[in-house]
Amino acid sequence: MSLSRIFGLIPSYDQLYLPDPEQQFVWGWNNEGQLGVTMSAASMNSGGDVVDFKTMSKNFVTKDVAIGLSHTLLLSRNGEVYAVGKGKYGRLGNDSERSLRSLFRIPISIRVLKIAAGSFHSAFITEKHQLFTFGRGDSGQLGHNDYIDQFSPKQVSCSDPIDLVACGSDHTVFVTFSCGTYHTNVLTAEGLIYSWGTNDYGQVSPDTRGIINVPQRLRTPNSKGGSPIMNVYAGGRSSMAIRFYPTLIRVRESTYKNDIENIFTNNTNTDCEVILKDKSGDEEKTNIILSHKIFLTRSSLFSDQLDSNTIDVGDEFESFAQLNSFITKLYKDDENEIDLVSNHLFLYINNPLYSDVKICVKEKAFYAHKCILVARSNKLKVQLESFFQEGINNTIFIDNVNPDVYYAFIHYLYTDKLNIDAENAIELLFLAHEENLERMLELVQEYLINGIDDDNVSPLYDISTRLDLKSLGDQCLYYIAKNIDNVSKTETFSELPEELKKKLISSSVPFSMKKDKEKNCILINF
C-alpha cells in the first residue's frame, strides 16, 4: 500500500480509517462489522483483528469519518450520512438496535456538514446549523432533557446556530462537535461551547459534578486579541478546545551578506584577474586572483587599470596573502558600516558599465551583472549558467511583468532592499513566487497583511489559495471571519468564484456583541 495519497488518519479504540479520494482502506477490530466490509474467517487472526487491507466500495467517496467504540459514521461528499457496526442503544440511527455489517444510509433529507461519534452515541450537524443526536442517553449525553436512548436522529433544542460538535465518552460539547463515551461537546456559530452528559471528571463543566442532560454553556478564559475558538474535541472522560490564531508571517534572515561574499569565494563569473609578481626567489612568479570589476571599483587603487582585464598591482602589496585579504574586504561592508556593499552596488543597477547580461522586459532593456544575478537567484543561475539560449546569449526575455516591477526586483537582488507600494505589491508577490525567492515572498506578504481591509481581503485570499500562501491566507480568513458582514457587501467579494464565496461564508459566522465590544466568530476547518 502506497502512503503517498493518504489525506487523513483517524485513530480509534478498534480501528483506523484512512479517507482517500480514490481508495479507502480499513483494518482492525471488526467484531461488530464496524469496518464496513464483510470478512471471511481466513481474513482475521485469533483476536478478530483484520489482517488484510480491504478496499471500501469505489462508489462511495468519503468526506469525513467518525469512529465510536464499535460503530462508525461516514459522511459522503454529497452530505449523506452512513453508519455501520454495533447498533445497541440506537447509535446507528436505523430506528432499532440492530447491528449492521454493511453501510446504512441514515434517512435525513437535509444535507449534513459534520459528524461525530462517542462510544455509544452519535451526532451530526446539518447545513441549516441544526444538531441531531441519537444512541445511548442514560447520562444525558444526547441533550434532549431526558435520559432516554434515541434510536433515530433527534434535533437538539438550541437557540444558537451550530456548526461543530464533539462527543465524549458520556458527554457532548458543540460549533464543532465531538462525541466521547458518555458526553458531547458542541461549538456554536457564536463561538460558544456547550456540553452535556456524564460529568464525573469535570469533562462537561469544571464547576459541577454529576449528570447534565441539557446543553450547558462552558465559560472559557478570554484570549489575547479576541481569537475565536476553532474547534472542540471530546475524549473518554475529557474535553479540549482549540483557539484559532492565524499563522504569523515570519520573514527569514537575509542571506545577502553571504551571497555577496560567496561571489569572491566561489570565483564565479569573474571578468578580470589581479596579478602580483613575486620576485623574492630565483625566478619571478606571478600570482593571480580572479575578481570582478564592479567590486574593484570600491578602491581607487585599481581605477586606472579597469579598462583592462588584467590588473597588475606592482609593488603595492608585499605578499599574495596581503593582496587576497585586501580584495576580500571589497566584497564586504567596512567595519564601521559606513561604506556598505549595498550602497555601492546600487550604483550599478541598470548600469551598462561592466555589464555582461541584458534583461529585456517587454519594451524595456535592463543592464545587469551575471555575478550578482547568479549569486542571488537560483532560477537566474540555472538560466545563465546553462546551455539554454539565455546562457549562450546572456540575454533574458520577459513579457509577463511590468518593467517598473522588474526594476524593483533587480533593486532587491543588488541591494537586499525591496521597495513595495500599493501599486506593485501584487505583481511583486507573483514575481517572487515565480522566481522562488522565499524571503522576498515573505516581505511582500508582510506588507500585504499589514494593509488588509474590507475591499482587498477577498482578492488577497483568492491569490493566497492560488499560490498556496498559508500565512497570507490565514490572515485573510481571520479578517473575513471577524468582518464577514462588511466584506460580503463589497464589490471585490461579489467578483470571487462562487465556490470560494460559499467557503468563506460557511467558515465565518459572526455574531453581534455589545457595541463597545469586537465581533467574534468561529472558523471551521475544511
Q: Residue 379: enclosing H or E segment and its boundaries?
A: helix 378-384
* Amino acid 507: pLDDT: 58
* Amino acid 196: pLDDT: 78
The alpha carbon torsion through 329, 333, 337, 338 (nearest 10 deg) reads: 80
Percent of the chain with pLDDT over 70: 74
Strand-pair partners of 17: 10, 26
* Amino acid 296: pLDDT: 96
Q: Enter the CATH code of domain 351-508.
A: 3.30.710.10
* Amino acid 268: pLDDT: 86
* Amino acid 224: pLDDT: 57
pLDDT digits (tens, 9 = 90+) for 134-172: 999 988 888 888 889 999 999 998 777 777 777 766 665
> Which range scores top for mean pLDDT: 39-43, 99-103, 189-193, 414-418?
414-418
Among 21-25, 49-53, 246-250, where is mean pLDDT lowest? 49-53
Can you tell me the distance from the alpha carbon of 144 to that of 408, in angstroms, rounded to the nearest whole number?
64
Structure confidence at residue 506 as a pLDDT band (50, 70, 90):
low
CATH architecture assignment, domain 25-243: 7 Propeller (2.130)
Structure confidence at residue 525 as a pLDDT band (50, 70, 90):
very low
Among 164-168, 266-270, 290-294, 310-314, where is mean pLDDT lowest? 164-168
* Amino acid 478: pLDDT: 83
Q: Where in the chain is the domain with CATH 3.30.710.10?
A: 255-345, 351-508
The answer, yes or no, to whether residue 179 has pLDDT greater than 90, is: no
The answer, yes or no, to whether residue 291 has pLDDT greater than 90, is: yes
Can you tell me the distance from the alpha carbon of 72 to that of 63, in angstroms, rounded to the nearest whole number?
14
Q: What is the mean pLDDT of the chain?
A: 80
* Amino acid 282: pLDDT: 67
* Amino acid 64: pLDDT: 85
Measuring CA to CA, how many Å separate 261 from each of 255, 268, 411?
A: 10, 11, 18
Query: What mean pLDDT do residues 10-39 have?
Result: 49
pLDDT digits (tens, 9 = 90+) for 71-100: 989 998 888 999 999 999 999 999 999 998
* Amino acid 195: pLDDT: 81
The answer, yes or no, to whether residue 121 has pLDDT greater than 60, is: yes
522 touches 187 (CB < 8 A):
yes
Can you tell me the distance from the alpha carbon of 447 to that of 132, in angstroms, rounded to the nearest whole number?
45
Residue type, 315: D
* Amino acid 498: pLDDT: 83
* Amino acid 249: pLDDT: 81
Secondary structure tally for the chain: helices H, strands E: 15, 26
- Give SS3 for 1: coil
pLDDT digits (tens, 9 = 90+) for 337-383: 678 999 999 999 999 999 999 999 999 999 999 999 999 999 999 99
Query: Side by side, which strands form the sheet with 150-155?
Result: 112-117, 121-126, 131-135, 150-155
Task: Give the length of the chain.
Answer: 526
Please tell me which residue, 514 or 394, carries the higher pLDDT value: 394
> What one-character DSSP code corresponds to residue 298?
T
- Regarding the domain with residue range 255-345, which homologous superfamily does it belong to in the CATH classification? Potassium Channel Kv1.1; Chain A (3.30.710.10)
323 touches 264 (CB < 8 A):
no
Query: What mean pLDDT do residues 268-290 have?
Result: 86
Using alpha carbons, select from 122, 40, 113 the residue that is nearest to residue 77. Answer: 113
Q: Where in the chain is the domain with CATH 2.130.10.30?
A: 25-243
351 touches 367 (CB < 8 A):
yes
Measuring CA to CA, how many Å separate 313 from each of 254, 279, 324?
A: 34, 13, 12
165 touches 130 (CB < 8 A):
no
Instruction: Show the cell assigned to 255.
Output: 542571506
* Amino acid 332: pLDDT: 94
